Structure 1
Amino acid sequence: MDDNDRSIIGFVMIGHMMVHTYELSIPILMTIWLLEFGTSTAVLGIAVAVGYGLFGIGALPGGLLVDRFGSRTLISACLAGMGLSFLVLSIAPNVGSITIALAFWGIAASVYHPAGLTLISNGVTKRGRGFAYHGMAGNVGIAGGPLLTALCLLVFDWRIATAILALPALIGAVAGLAINFDATAGVELTSNTHERQGPSSISEFIEETQRLFTFGFLLIFLIVALNGLYYRGVLTFLPNLLSDFLTTTIGDVRLGVFAPGSPLADEFDLAQYLYAGLLTVGIGGQYLGGRLTDMIEPDQGLSIMLPVLAGIALLFVPAARSGLWGLLIVSFVLGFALFAMQPLTQATIAKYSRPESRGLSFGYTYLAIFGIGALGAAIVGTVLTYTSVSTMFLVLAGFAATGSGLAIWLLRIVESA
């Protein structure tokens, strides 16, 4: 990689890490909100789905803004907005206020993926490696967010903890404006392309959408939506599920670690650290997925990984109930496979889109991943409230299996072309 590649990758690694730090701190905070506000998983799942939904829905207008104003401006605005949203969250007095604060967070965070992935796709010459490092940084945030939140909650009230979490993004927003790079160094653009500023009217937007949505891209849109339902559904309530499995398997470890009546015992939850470990393992999955994009066609990689995710969902409950080692193994395998999908998905989107409309293409697909995918939180919360954990994982397996069928269909279309 050259200096320009390193500058871009460093910039997007910071942005990606911060987005997912906030995103995955929310499930940890949910364990506190369930107790403090006396609400159900169904109600809180819907509340969180609002923020997560806007995280996805905003990706489409975010993609249009990227094509018009560039990635640097959008990423810096994203960081500033997320920091301010968590400051608002720290003073939320009830579930309704939490919903509003998370909605603001979702709007701010929604522009990141179109901006960051467009920058890698068009500015980095070693695209596969760029996606790998970008994904690894995201998992540092994904793992670090829950871990940092859990550690803060050991010492501070949740309101102070969320205010502390707001500070890094505000600092990152300022620092991002000082980084220099060439945002189109990784692609060959025509003079006509350089003049493009993205669609400037509804008719141009419709025409650009029609050019983008080939049948192959439509299949990718559906695949990533199903993967988003799986991703959001499994991660949102996993801390609570892991806590239940650990209690059943080894009992309440706080009794052997803390003195009776210790205030730390009330806040300590071993499941939160297992959850952070699962997400940390995802760093390796991100690296493997990114390297695979340089070795095989990314759409072929999707057809391999989606059946793996379906199998993990079917095996999770039996493995978790078999004992501590079974729970640890299936949790870490889930973390590795879940995040190995992301670089493959991003490279597939880039493969089936044009450089001059990358912002729009990532806008649509992240609308699917995080917008439609946000329904996974509401679906899983409802299934857990009215049925069982086994049924929940069966639903998740159905999402992955359907996506696998579409990925195989996509490969057959490509092979016959």
Structure 2
Amino acid sequence: MQSLADILGEVFRAMMANKLRTFLTMFGIAWGVGSLLVLVGLGEGFRSGQRRNLASVGNDVVMAFDSTIPALPFQHTAMRPYKLTLKDEADMRALPELRAVTATLNRSDLYEVSAWSNTSMLVFGVEPNFSQVRFVPVEQGRFLDNDDLTNRRRVAVLGSKAARMLYPGHPFLGESITINGTSFTVVGSVATIARGGQDFDDQKVYIPLSTMMELFAMKGENIPRDSLTTIQYQPTIKGDSTAAVAAVHRVLGRNHSFDPLLKEAFDEWDTIHTSKLVDKIFDAMDLFLGGVGVVTLGLGAVGIINIMLVSVTERTREIGLRKALGATSRSILVQFFLEGLILTTVSGIIGIGISAGFMAILQSLLTGKMPGFDPPQLVWWSAALAMGSLAVCGIVAGVYPASQAAALEPVEALRRE
């Protein structure tokens, strides 16, 4: 009876006797596995990049803006505008469905002057908790605090681009700038939070909301004195804004006299909903690409079965001679089974290794250089799926031809030309 080492020796001698056929078969499987991993990795790169962009806005943030109220559902004429106010914010703070609420008043028509330069950046009147609700990484100095808000202090925190524009190459902490002629002391700066080429957030100048409303409140016909630009909040239940959004709609509907079920009356951005939508899109993409990959590997298995059947046909006389000399059907079965399994397994490992190396090179070359997109990364579930599929393919590709070879009768096999 042949030992396993003898059978493996026969397997490798058979493979080496047909080097080109073995190489092409293995190349096809490795290419299919590598393509599957790279395609799934590209999808995960897009997913990761979009998540990073959303994280740079803030976690679990919903933003409510001024909007208009239609007279009837789905109507887009005779719309009545309304402005968000401090009363809206106060009522929203009392909601148990919300864990954090912050308000902003923004203006882009104000003029900032320093000792070195002048510009017209976006002035943001904010509350101290803005830096907890939104992603605002302080780089130098400090952010605004409760005393600044309560005492209506004239202090400012500069976005990274605003700091470069107003103080090019010069220190700015403790220095003064004027905003429309009113002096403010710079107490801090924010690190860059630009997303790709969108440096809107880096151009901001942050001042206390109370100071903003005192000096630069919005003016115009039918605009309340305490008007705001946005109210931004986080739901009590992390990752689920359903109850929070419904509660906010009820508050705004009551305060501004309209039916909170009128969806057209709200202008808002729910980053939680956006994140879930992005995940669903990429889950569907991964499912599609994974299905394509499995089908591709299945076709590869069919190719290996065909090659193995051809091998059985070519080696019929050899099989007959070996069986006549005492080789058992089991040893013949094991030999052809191992040959099919080795072809698929080794090809899969090579495909995984090459694709992992390729994606590692892309990671080192492209990380941080493609806005909204991270380089492809090896996804372990896709590698596990590939290896599992290859194991199944290898078994199928080995068992059927092996059973055909083992079933040959020695006399009949020896008669064949």
- Does the pair score TM above 0.5? no
Kindly indicate which of the two structures has a greater share of residues assigned to helix: 1
TM-score when normalising by structure 2: 0.27
Structure-1-length-normalised TM-score? 0.27
